Amino acid sequence: MKQAVLVHYYSGHLFFTAAALFLLVVLLDVTGVSRGNAAGRRITGFVALLALALGAMGAPPMPLYLWVPVAIATAACVVAGFGEKRRPFTGIAAAVAVIVAVALEVPYHVDPTGIRRPKHLMVMGDSLSSGGFGEKTIWHQRMGDMAVTNLALPSDGVREALEHQAPMLLPPGNEQVVLIEIGGNDMLEGTPPDAFAKALDGLARAARRNGRKVVMLELPLLPGAWRYGLAQRQVARRHGVALIPKRLLAAVLLDPLDTSDGLHLTDRGHAALANGIRASLGW
């Protein structure tokens, strides 16, 4: 149960739960269903506050210029009070803001398309991809008959990957894909988000050189670390990088049988990551 709750949070699905709760109470209030008695209004108000709290906890990494209107509209909706005459107008405004936020977030939870199975896969990453922690087979060795060049180094952050791994990329060729699995160490060690974003931009630019296809694993974010996720999404849009939804890494890292210490993958964890990447990309 605990694992399922944590996966729900770190996958980003908590935001959708909060949005559904909020839209439900707005619907009940606007249609008058919850206005009939004081108990109904109190319950509606409690659920609305719960939805706001869950939404804040599970807030996806959107820019502030998108989040501020949503926060203002939903807070105004609750402050206006349930059952008030002006309530339908604030409720409808808040519902529209939430629906827009959900519509903007949904694409990041959909598996990418258009990345054909390559003949040659190059991997840039950290200890999740480097191996060397007691496993027998690393995840990218389970990808079938494609050639693999593993550039990942344990303990590397994005800046180190840009310095040490990017120069080792092979010359661009036909049917190459670069997979980037990086950023966990930056988040855990507190790399300044601006420095993280700048280095990640350079890493994506190097990987994309001469038209290579690039895939990046989105990070499940620690509380308060939304700027790392925002940087990933902005870099992905800027350079045409396909993002694998963070539910994959969240599910693998939060399964106690998939890691030896909560961070490094067991053979079962490597198999789960390989299967998840293949399923996400249709390989």
Whether the CA torsion 37, 43, 47, 49 is positive or negative: it is: positive
**By the 8 A CB rule, do 151 and 169 touch?**
yes
Transcribe 213-273 into DSSP letters. Answer: EEEEEPPPPPTT-HHHHHHHHHHHHHHTPEEEPTHHHHHHHT-TTTBSSSSSB-HHHHHHH
Transcribe 75-142 into DSSP letters. Answer: HHHHHH-TT-TTHHHHHHHHHHHHHHHHHHHGGGGS---S-PPPSEEEEEESHHHH--SS-SS-GGGG
**By the 8 A CB rule, do 250 and 10 touch?**
yes
Residue 49 burial (CB count, 10 A)? 13
What is d(CA 143, CA 155) in angstroms, rounded to the nearest whole number? Answer: 23
Whether the CA torsion 68, 71, 74, 76 is positive or negative: it is: negative
pLDDT of residue 271: 96
pLDDT of residue 133: 83
pLDDT by position in tens, the chain (length 283): 889 999 999 999 999 999 999 999 888 877 776 666 677 677 888 888 899 999 999 999 999 888 999 999 998 888 877 665 555 778 888 999 999 999 999 999 999 998 999 999 999 999 999 988 888 899 999 998 899 999 999 999 999 999 999 999 988 777 899 999 999 999 999 999 999 999 999 999 999 988 899 999 999 999 989 999 999 999 999 999 999 999 999 999 999 999 988 889 999 999 999 999 999 999 9
pLDDT of residue 90: 83
Q: What is the CA radius of gyration of the chain?
A: 22
What is d(CA 265, CA 272) in angstroms, rounded to the nearest whole number? Answer: 10
Q: Which residues of 263-276 are buried (b: 16+ CB within 10 A; e: fewer)?
A: ebbbbebbbbbbeb
Residues 6 or more apart whose CB falls under 8 angstroms from that of 112 comprise: 215, 242, 243, 244, 280, 281
pLDDT of residue 86: 52
